[in-house]
Amino acid sequence: MATVSMSEITRVALYNSNDPKIWEAVRHNSKQDAYVDIVLHDATYITKDMHFKLLQWKMSQGKSRPMLLKYARDLTDEVVETTSREAFALCKEGKYMAAMEKYKTLKGTGYALASLVLTTQCANIPFMSDQLLGLMYSESEIKYSKKEFVACYDYANKKAQEISQASNSAWSARDIELCLRKTL
């Protein structure tokens, strides 16, 4: 079996690949993100502080939108806890789009932040990262809308299913997005 060199793998090549060896090599070399430590995997809600920390982490990964920080500061603990509790419950029921729409009701929260928060509880929801979007759309086409989120969701879940079947190991949409984001 030939060894796959990380320096030979580009994000575009990985995006287009169905070779489980390549995906496994990238997953093996991809470190867990700091956002994972902000929220416990089996949490039933998040706090305003957690929401704010996840927003800060998200902004460190892509385009900065300072106004979103103001919106996050203005939220109340009660609103964040209630909204996240309802969204997490919808995730656990497999109602992923309803969960996204529920979490997006928080002022200043779009599909990218909602997907980041919800992927902490549901591996079927990929983080709508700039890196994933950049593989699917040209810079001028990216709108951070439901259409783009659904495209990310569909791609990541389909690819996870393909790689899972080809490799006989479990892959999630979260794994797919992480590998693509961690590849140059």
pLDDT in tens, 16-49: 999 999 999 998 888 877 777 778 778 899 999 9
pLDDT at 117 over 60: yes
Say if CB 132 and CB 156 are below 8 A apart.
yes
Long-range contacts of 82-91 (CB under 8 A, 24+ apart): 82/45, 84/45, 84/46, 84/51, 84/117, 85/44, 85/45, 87/114, 87/117, 87/118, 88/43, 88/44, 88/45, 88/118, 88/121, 89/44, 91/118, 91/121, 91/122, 91/125
Average pLDDT over residues 159-175: 94
Residues 6+ apart with CB under 8 A from 145: 111
Average pLDDT over residues 49-56: 94
- Does 34 or 108 have the greater pLDDT score? 108
pLDDT per position as a tens digit, 55-72: 999 988 877 788 899 999
Which pLDDT score, from 0 to 100, does residue 1 have? 43
pLDDT at 4 over 70: no
Delimit the domains of the chain by residue range.
6-30+128-182, 35-119
Average pLDDT over residues 125-149: 91
- Does 155 or 168 have the greater pLDDT score? 155
Share of the chain above pLDDT 70, in %: 96
3-state secondary structure of 36: helix
